[in-house]
């Protein structure tokens, strides 16, 4: 019941790191001993600084922190890769019984066709026991690369996210939250801006809340509020102020839709296999990934209270039915099977 988690350098506000650390915390509660092994560049100044940053940016963990994979890295029964780069370190790591892979997205799609995409894709054929974020990834990696996969779901932080209807309305504006992060192409920043530009022409009383990146230097063609990179504890109030949220994705979804649902915010997204493992026509408003279809979807949610209310209620119920503890137990069950033990 020991796991070495090989992770990239930790960044403030990183959703991928948050998911990894949450599984570590829940597995600690199930009796696992976890070590965090940070590999790649830029390397933190020291393991102590890295542990302090993790506690400051996320939450405290019992897990020890180690820099680099070398002879000083403790042995563990499981070595867990968490990104394609870390998979190469895990493949070389000898002091373990089982090599595993926690895959949150299809990382070859993060790059243009070329070396990085091919190197990322190759890791899915390393033979590691693979835990994926959702069914779409599990099926894709098994079908296309022969990976041994087990899908794991996500949830949300119940201590943070909840409906706060008292924060919404009162000034006559419809607020739409948009995850605006230009450096992350898979979140379709440009498409979202074009969609919201046309929505603003049809719904003049709309105000857009742009969160995720400082985009004040961009030419935004509609009235908006610049939230930038928001501290985690400030996100629930920001979400709860909004009447709808446009969440676009060109690959696997993040935690954002679940967090928005938990705050009672109707979610609008693009219809695709990598969104529909989590979103459907009951708990969200899905539209084809083109400007006109998405514009119509946003306008319908803003201007048809019955539609917004139906999606809101279904989304909140869907989010409330999820559980981090249950998903961690599913991962522990998979680990126990790999160790040849009954969970």
- pLDDT > 70: percent of the chain: 99
pLDDT at res. 69 = 81
Q: 């509660």: which residue's tokens?
A: 29
β-strand 148-152 against 174-179: which pairing, if any? Answer: unpaired
Per-residue confidence at 127, pLDDT binned at 50, 70, 90? very high
- pLDDT > 90: percent of the chain: 90
pLDDT at res. 70 = 78
Residues 64-68, mean pLDDT to the nearest whole number: 94
pLDDT at res. 262 = 97
Nearest to 250 by CA among 272, 276, 279, 278: 272
Per the model's pLDDT, the better-predicted residue between 42 and 169 turns out to be: 42
Looking at the chain, the number of H-run helices and the number of E-run strands are 12, 13
- pTM for the structure as a whole: 0.92
> Measured between alpha carbons, how far is 125 from 120 in angstroms, rounded to an integer?
10
pLDDT at res. 96 = 96
Whether the predicted pLDDT of 343 surpasses 60? no
Q: What is the DSSP string of 111-148?
A: S-SSHHHHHHHHGGGS--EEEEESHHHHHHHHHHH--E
pLDDT, tens only, 73-113: 899 999 999 999 999 999 999 999 999 999 999 999 999 99
Least confident of 31-45, 162-176, 268-282: 162-176
Nearest to 236 by CA among 159, 302, 176: 159
**Three-class SS state of 37:** strand
Whether the predicted pLDDT of 28 surpasses 50? yes
pLDDT at res. 169 = 74
pLDDT at res. 140 = 98
Least confident of 12-16, 66-70, 73-77: 12-16
Residues 40-50, mean pLDDT to the nearest whole number: 92
pLDDT at res. 342 = 44
Per-residue confidence at 21, pLDDT binned at 50, 70, 90? very high
Whether the predicted pLDDT of 132 surpasses 70? yes
Q: What is the mean pLDDT of the chain?
A: 94
Per-residue confidence at 47, pLDDT binned at 50, 70, 90? very high
């Amino acid at each position: 019941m020991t796991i070495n988690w090989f992770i990239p350098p930790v960044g403030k506000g990183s959703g991928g790191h948050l998911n990894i650390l949450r599984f570590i915390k829940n597995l600690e509660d199930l009796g696992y001993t976890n070590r965090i092994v940070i590999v790649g560049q830029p390397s933190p100044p020291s393991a102590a600084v890295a542990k302090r940053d993790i506690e400051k940016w996320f939450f405290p963990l019992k897990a020890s922190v180690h820099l680099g994979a070398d002879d000083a890295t403790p042995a563990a029964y499981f070595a867990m890769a968490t990104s394609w780069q870390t998979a190469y370190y895990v493949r070389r790591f000898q002091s373990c019984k089982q090599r595993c892979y926690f895959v949150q997205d299809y990382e070859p799609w993060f790059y243009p066709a070329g070396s990085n995409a091919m190197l990322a894709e190759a890791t899915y054929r390393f033979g590691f026991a693979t835990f994926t974020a959702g069914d779409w990834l599990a099926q894709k990696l098994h079908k296309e690369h022969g990976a041994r996969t087990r899908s794991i779901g996500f949830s949300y932080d119940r201590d943070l996210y909840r409906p706060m209807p008292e924060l919404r309305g009162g000034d006559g504006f419809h607020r739409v939250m948009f995850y605006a992060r230009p450096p992350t192409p898979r979140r379709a920043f440009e498409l979202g801006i074009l969609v919201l530009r046309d929505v603003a022409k049809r719904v003049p009383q709309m105000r857009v809340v742009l969160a995720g990146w400082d985009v004040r230097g961009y030419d935004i063609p509609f009235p908006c509020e610049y939230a930038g990179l928001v501290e985690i504890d400030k996100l629930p109030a920001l979400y709860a102020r909004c009447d709808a949220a446009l969440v676009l994705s060109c690959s696997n979804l993040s935690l954002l839709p679940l967090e928005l649902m938990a705050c009672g915010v109707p979610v609008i997204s693009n219809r695709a296999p990598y969104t529909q493992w989590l979103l459907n026509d009951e708990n969200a408003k899905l539209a084809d990934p083109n400007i006109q279809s998405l514009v119509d979807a946003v306008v319908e949610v803003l201007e048809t209270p019955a539609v917004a209310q139906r999606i809101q209620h279904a989304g909140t119920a869907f989010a409330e039915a999820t559980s981090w503890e249950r998903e961690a137990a599913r991962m522990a069950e998979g680990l126990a099977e790999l160790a040849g033990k009954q969970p």
